[in-house]
């Protein structure tokens, strides 16, 4: 590097340092008081190994004894998750945000002890999460004739991956742990194209087919045996109220045995889709429908332009 370039780089560095002093959110430089995105992603991957142990290669710990391997993995997750929870609890405390462990019997006091208690409480919820994931797997296999077997679904279906991560994140959300649940579901979002807020409540036997472009908002309530196709939005009717709407029920309720086809949008906290209903592709629904309702859009008229003979050869009897 020549002297001129060196001087120019020093000038740029000084310019940026001066810009960092403006006191904006983007000027924050204290990285040690915020959760580490890569660590949270690593924890998520290890949690998925606890969910489906036979489908993830262990490249860190190799034991011939399954119990020994599991104990080491659990300890790894417990230590690292505790550290990240400790960081976000302090972060929440500084901003007067909600973040306590009273729901699981963890008493307020030393932040590190509280973080450890929360992480341990969460890990004891893994069997419950696994029960739900198994039902999602069964629903996916029964609902998709293209699936050869359940191994194919676990190893390759984005819908099951996004749902499994959301179920993990949702349990952390229920423990009032800030930031980390959203970081986990956004990792799933970036990987699968499926955006499920960790606050959403989802029943058993949930089936996402294809999945790309699905959005499920934070106060959505979904019952059992619900099937959702690509491009579906379960969203808010309006967000113009901004932060004043935080915590308000603004996303729909989907009851049991509902099927929602691709491109449909169901909006509003007062919108309830009754059990057994079918919502057709591209439907835009902002009001409740009773159980057993079929919502469809009337077919639009198709028009063909071209030479009559060519159209006859191409479409035959359909003209």
Does residue 233 sit in the same domain as residue 192?
Answer: no
Q: Give me the pLDDT at residue 304, please.
A: 74
Residue where a domain terminates, one of 212, 230, 251:
212
Q: What is the pLDDT of residues 4-62, one digit of tens each?
A: 788 888 899 889 989 999 988 887 876 667 899 999 999 999 999 999 998 877 666 56
The answer as to whether 13 is a domain residue is no
Q: Helix-strand-coil percent breakdown of the chain, rounded to 5?
A: 50, 10, 40
**Residue 200: what pLDDT?**
98
Q: How far apart are CA 47 and CA 68, in angstroms?
A: 16
Same domain, 219 and 292: yes
Q: CA angle at residue 34 from 33 to 37, to 5 degrees?
A: 145
Residue 264 shares a structural domain with residue 139: no
Residues 203, 228 within the same domain: no
| Virtual torsion, Cα 162, 167, 168, 174, nearest 10 deg | 140
Residue 319 lies in a domain: yes
Q: Where are the beta strands (DSSP E) in the chain?
A: 195-196, 201-202, 207-209, 215-216, 221-222, 227-229, 233-235, 253-254, 259-260, 265-267, 272-273, 278-279, 284-285, 294-295
Are 160 and 306 members of one domain?
Answer: no
Query: Are 131 and 207 in the same domain?
Result: yes
E strand or H helix that includes residue 98: none
Same domain (yes/no): 45, 150? yes
Q: Answer whether residue 15 is part of any domain.
A: no
Most confident of 66-75, 97-106, 254-263: 254-263
CATH number at residue 239: 2.160.10.10
Is residue 168 in a domain? yes
Find out whether 196 and 219 touch, Cβ atoms under 8 Å: no
The candidate with the shortest Cα–Cα distance to 266, out of 303, 231, 291, 311, is: 231
What is the tally of structural domains in the chain? 2
Q: Do 140 and 160 form a contact (C-beta atoms < 8 A)?
A: yes
Q: Which of the listed residues 165, 186, 212 is the one where a domain comes to its end?
A: 212
- Please give the distance of CA 115 from its chain centroid, rounded to a whole number: 23
Nearest to 262, CA basis, from 219, 229, 306: 229
Percent of the chain with pLDDT over 90: 67
**Is 4 a member of any domain?**
no
Rounded to whole angstroms, what are the CA distances from 106 to 60, 113, 146? 31, 9, 46
Q: Can you give the pTM of this predicted structure?
A: 0.85
Within 95-157, residue ranges assigned H as helices are 111-123, 126-143, 150-156
- Residue 137 φ/ψ, nearest 5 degrees: -65, -45
Last residue of a domain, one of 144, 177, 212: 212
Residue 135 belongs to domain with CATH number: 1.10.3130.10
Inside any domain, residue 76: yes
Compute the average pLDDT of residues 79-101.
Answer: 76
Q: Which domain holds residue 269?
A: 214-319
* Residues 180 and 65 grouped into a single domain: yes
3-state secondary structure of 260: strand
Average of pLDDT values for 136-147? 97
Residues 240 and 187 in one domain: no
In a domain, 3, yes or no: no
Q: Please tell me whether residues 204 and 218 are part of one structural domain.
A: no
Residue 30 shares a structural domain with residue 65 = yes
| pLDDT average, residue stretch 74-79 | 96
């Amino acid at each position: 590097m020549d002297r001129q370039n060196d001087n120019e780089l020093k000038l740029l560095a000084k310019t940026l340092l001066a810009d960092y002093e403006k006191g904006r959110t983007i000027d924050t430089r204290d990285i040690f008081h915020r959760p580490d995105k890569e660590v949270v992603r690593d924890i998520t991957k290890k949690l998925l190994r606890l969910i489906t142990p036979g489908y993830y290669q262990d490249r860190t710990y190799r034991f011939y004894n399954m119990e020994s391997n599991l104990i080491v993995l659990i300890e790894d997750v417990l230590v690292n998750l505790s550290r990240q929870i400790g960081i976000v609890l302090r972060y929440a405390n500084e901003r007067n945000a909600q973040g306590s462990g009273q729901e699981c019997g963890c008493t307020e006091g030393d932040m590190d002890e509280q973080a450890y208690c929360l992480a341990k409480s969460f890990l004891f919820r893994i069997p419950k999460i696994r029960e739900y994931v198994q039902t999602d797997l069964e629903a996916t296999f029964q609902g998709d004739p293209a699936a050869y077997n359940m191994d194919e679904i676990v190893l390759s279906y984005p819908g099951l991956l996004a749902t499994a991560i959301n179920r993990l994140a949702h349990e952390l959300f229920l423990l009032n742990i800030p930031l980390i649940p959203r970081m986990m579901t956004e990792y799933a979002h970036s990987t699968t194209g499926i955006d499920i807020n960790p606050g959403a409540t989802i029943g058993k036997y949930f089936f996402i087919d294809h999945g790309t472009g699905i959005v499920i908002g934070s106060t959505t309530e979904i019952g059992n045996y619900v099937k959702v196709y690509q491009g579906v939005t379960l969203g808010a009717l309006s967000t113009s109220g901004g932060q004043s709407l935080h915590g308000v029920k603004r996303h729909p309720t989907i009851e049991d045995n509902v099927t929602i086809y691709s491109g449909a949008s169901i909006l509003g906290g007062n919108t309830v889709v009754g059990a057994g209903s079918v919502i057709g592709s591209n439907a835009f629904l902002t009001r409740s429908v009773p159980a057993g309702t079929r919502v469809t859009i009337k077919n639009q008229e198709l028009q063909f332009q071209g030479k009559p003979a060519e159209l006859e050869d191409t479409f035959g009897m359909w003209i």
